[in-house]
């Protein structure tokens, strides 16, 4: 990607209101952005990352913060979901106190969703809340988790069950960091990107599918326009997430309309069940969501909501996202008990996010869907994969 690609800016009207800057080689601008977005009294910045990401990008970010006159300190957490815990948050809080991060100062999160969720959570707690800036480095974090203000940790009781709504002051997305991302992480991110288009924006779905299709043909990688298209796509994804969040900042449990934040759970009912049934070892979350979308798409089709050609487009998009670990050995029936414990259940009722068409979701009470339709759809989805490998 070339340095002079235009940076896109997406405004999020939630929290205090903030901008998401999407560009290439913009890590060196984190300092300037922080200077603009933070209080004029901000002096110290505490950077949270992990060793892997920090070794690739840490110095560039620290350097740009120092260049703006910030006193910087950094702390590296363990790498992986298993470190997204209260214990790690406690270590992070000790680091923030030890670095004398004051009320006007800030935390910068450099990494994927794990770092962002944990650092955001710690910044919500330290001194009852200090500012934070997200510098997401995975596709999932860039299009999804860094926008919307959800922060938190996992506990023994389950994933993301403890947390706080705490919006960042700014988000800086450098799409060039995706060059070092392992292919499976990309696939997981692309699945979430397909999800966002499928539930709420047909043009976004098409834009995502077209980009992936060109990537898989290989030719597009060499074209200079690719960088611009990637920036535009990531910015469009951020824009979508931002609009959903703005319309339903705290995920109102009473809402079942097609614009509620709950539509973002498309593919997650079966996705979570699949992750749990395979003890969180086989799938990246987004990969499991890939299967979950196929299952929810099948249910939508079998209930007469979604047309056959629409379902085929969804299947094609999931195929283009990359190869999913196989799931044929998982019994659909064995997932049923996990479905009943869906943490998104409201008042004991489980809801499915289904599709009426690509770009339009509908939330349906599980009680209104015959069990055999669910079973047959899950079976079809788990056996449906034989997809191609693609790289960014």
What residues act catalytically? 128, 150, 192, 241, 251, 261, 265, 268, 272, 285
DSSP code, position 170: E
Q: Does 180 bind ligand NAD (CB under 6 A)?
A: yes
Catalogue the long-range contacts made by 258-265 (C-beta closer than 8 Å, 24 or more residues apart).
Answer: 258/200, 258/360, 258/361, 258/362, 258/363, 259/200, 260/363, 262/344, 262/351, 262/353, 262/363, 263/199, 263/200, 263/353, 263/361, 263/363, 264/195, 264/196, 264/199, 265/344, 265/353
Residue placing its CB nearer to ligand NAD in the complex, 105 or 117: 117
Residues 6+ positions from 169 with CB-CB distance below 8 Å: 16, 18, 34, 37, 38, 106, 131, 132, 133
Helix (H, G, I), strand (E, B) or coil at 359: coil
| 105 binds ligand NAD per the rule CB under 6 A | no
Q: Binding to ligand NAD by residue 110, rule CB under 6 A?
A: no
Closest approach, Cβ 195 to ligand NAD, in A, equals 11
Candidates 114, 231, 242, 354: give the one binding ligand NAD (CB under 6 A). 114
Applying CB under 6 A, which of residues 138, 216, 237, 379 lies at the interface with ligand NAD?
Answer: 138
Among 33, 123, 145, 260, indicate the residue that binds ligand NAD (CB under 6 A).
145
Scan for tokens 């896109």, then name that residue.
Answer: 8
> Is residue 391 near ligand NAD by the rule CB under 6 A?
no
Closer residue to ligand NAD, CB minimum distance, 279 or 367:
279
CB 352 within 8 A of CB 339: no
Candidate ranges 180-188, 287-295, 301-309, 384-392; the one touching ligand NAD (CB under 6 A): 180-188
Sole window of 50-58, 201-209, 231-239, 273-281 interacting with ligand NAD (rule: CB under 6 A): 50-58
Place of tokens 């759809």: 377
Indicate the pairing of strand 106-111 with strand 44-50: parallel
How many Cβ atoms from other residues are within 10 Å of residue 78's Cβ? Answer: 15
Contact range with ligand NAD by CB under 6 A, out of 61-69, 136-144, 301-309, 354-362? 136-144
Residue 137 touching ligand NAD (CB under 6 A) = yes
What span, in angstroms and rounded, lies between the C-alpha atoms of 292 and 301? Answer: 14
Counted residue by residue, the chain has a size of 392
Candidates 58, 113, 197, 290; binder of ligand NAD (CB under 6 A) is 113
Strands 106-111 and 131-136: parallel
Least distance from C-beta 92 to ligand NAD, angstroms?
A: 15
Q: Find the binder of ligand NAD among 7, 68, 155, 160 (CB under 6 A).
A: 160
In the complex, least distance from residue 355 CB atom to ligand NAD, rounded to whole angstroms:
20
Beta bridge partners of 44: 71
Give me the 51-90 binding string for ligand NAD, x by CB under 6 A, dash otherwise.
-xx--x----------------------xxx--x------
Q: Which stretch binds ligand NAD (CB under 6 A): 98-106, 111-119, 275-283, 299-307?
A: 111-119
Alpha carbon distance 360, 198 (integer Å): 7
Site string for ligand NAD, 115-134 (x = CB under 6 A): x-x-----------------
Is residue 112 a contact residue for ligand NAD (CB under 6 A)?
yes
**SS3 of residue 12 by DSSP:** strand
Chain residues binding ligand NAD by CB under 6 A are 50, 52-53, 56, 79-81, 84, 111-115, 117, 137-138, 140-141, 144-145, 148, 150, 159-160, 177, 180-181, 185, 188
């Amino acid at each position: 990607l070339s340095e002079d690609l235009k940076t896109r800016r997406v405004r999020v009207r939630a929290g205090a209101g903030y901008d998401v800057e999407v560009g290439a080689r913009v890590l060196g601008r984190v300092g300037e952005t922080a200077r603009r977005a933070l209080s004029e009294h901000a002096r110290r910045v505490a950077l949270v990352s992990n060793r892997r990401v920090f070794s690739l990008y840490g110095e560039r970010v620290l350097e740009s913060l120092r260049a703006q006159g910030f006193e910087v300190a950094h702390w590296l957490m363990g790498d992986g979901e298993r470190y997204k815990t209260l214990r790690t948050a406690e270590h992070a809080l000790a680091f923030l106190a030890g670095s004398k991060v004051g009320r006007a100062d800030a935390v910068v999160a450099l990494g994927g969703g794990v770092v962002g969720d944990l650092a955001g959570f710690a910044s919500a707690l330290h001194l009852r809340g200090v500012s934070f800036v997200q510098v997401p480095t995975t596709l999932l974090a860039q299009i999804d988790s860094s926008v919307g203000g959800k922060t938190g940790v996992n506990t023994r009781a389950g994933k993301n069950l403890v947390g706080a709504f705490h919006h960042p002051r700014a988000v800086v997305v450098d799409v060039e960091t995706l060059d070092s991302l392992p292919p499976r992480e990309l696939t997981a991110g692309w699945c979430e990107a397909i999800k966002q288009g499928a539930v709420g924006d047909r043009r976004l779905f098409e834009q995502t599918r077209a980009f992936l299709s060109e990537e898989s043909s290989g030719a597009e990688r060499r074209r200079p326009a690719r960088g611009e298209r990637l920036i535009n796509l990531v910015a469009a994804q951020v824009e979508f997430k931002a609009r959903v969040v703005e319309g339903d900042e705290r995920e109102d449990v009473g809402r079942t309309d097609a614009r509620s934040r709950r539509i973002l759970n498309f593919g997650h009912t079966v996705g979570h069940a699949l992750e749990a049934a395979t003890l969180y070892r086989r799938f990246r979350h987004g990969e499991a969501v890939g299967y979950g979308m196929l299952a929810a798409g099948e249910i939508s089709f079998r209930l007469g909501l979604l047309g056959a050609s629409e379902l085929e487009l969804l299947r094609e998009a999931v195929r283009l996202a990359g190869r999913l670990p196989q799931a044929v050995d998982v019994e659909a029936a064995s997932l049923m008990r996990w479905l009943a414990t869906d943490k998104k259940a409201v008042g004991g009722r489980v809801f499915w996010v289904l599709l009426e068409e690509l770009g339009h979701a509908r939330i349906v009470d599980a009680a209104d869907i015959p069990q055999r339709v669910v079973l047959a759809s899950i079976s079809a989805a788990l056996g449906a994969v034989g997809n191609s490998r693609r790289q960014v």
